[in-house]
Structure 1
Amino acid sequence: MRIEADRDRCEGLGMCEAMAPDFFEVGDDGRVVVHEEHPDEEHRQDLTAAVDACPVLALKLRD
């Protein structure tokens, strides 16, 4: 699994960080920072919730 983040689309609303703070952070530039691009499968549920919570659809999970 791989996390993809479209930093150009990101508006820094922080929903991903609220849902999965171990994996996402709103950086100093107001855009998402992905801490672990290839997370373990055991985190899929939390990451799916975080991706689905993004109101501007800036995040994707790829297999």
Structure 2
Amino acid sequence: MKLTVDRDKCSGHGRCYSLAPDYFDCDDEGYPVILNEQLDSNDGSKVTIAVDSCPERAVTLKEGSA
């Protein structure tokens, strides 16, 4: 599984980095920065919650790798 963020859709709510801080951080403007694109199988539920919590659906989790 691979994480992506569409910065054109993102409004900087911060839910992703609040819910999954091992995978997201924020830049100086409050927009998400992905720390780790590849999902660890043990972290699936908290990353899925972070993805599902994005109001703009800017954060996605896709099958596959880099």
The residue identity in structure 2 corresponding to 1:37 is E
Count the aligned residue pairs. Answer: 63
- Gaps of at least 5 residues in structure 2 are none
- Gaps of at least 5 residues in structure 1 are none
What residue in structure 2 maps to residue 45 of structure 1?
Answer: 45
TM-score norm. by structure 1 comes to 0.89
- Structure 1 CA distance, aligned partners of 2:41 and 2:24? 16
What residue in structure 1 maps to residue 18 of structure 2?
Answer: 18
- Structure 1 CA distance, aligned partners of 2:29 and 2:17? 15
User: What percent identity do the matched residue pairs reach?
Assistant: 40
TM-score norm. by structure 2 comes to 0.86
Q: For 2:61, what is the secondary structure of its paired residue?
A: strand
Cα drift, residue 55 of structure 1: 0.8
Query: Contact conserved, 2:11 with 2:31, CA < 8 A, in 1?
Result: yes
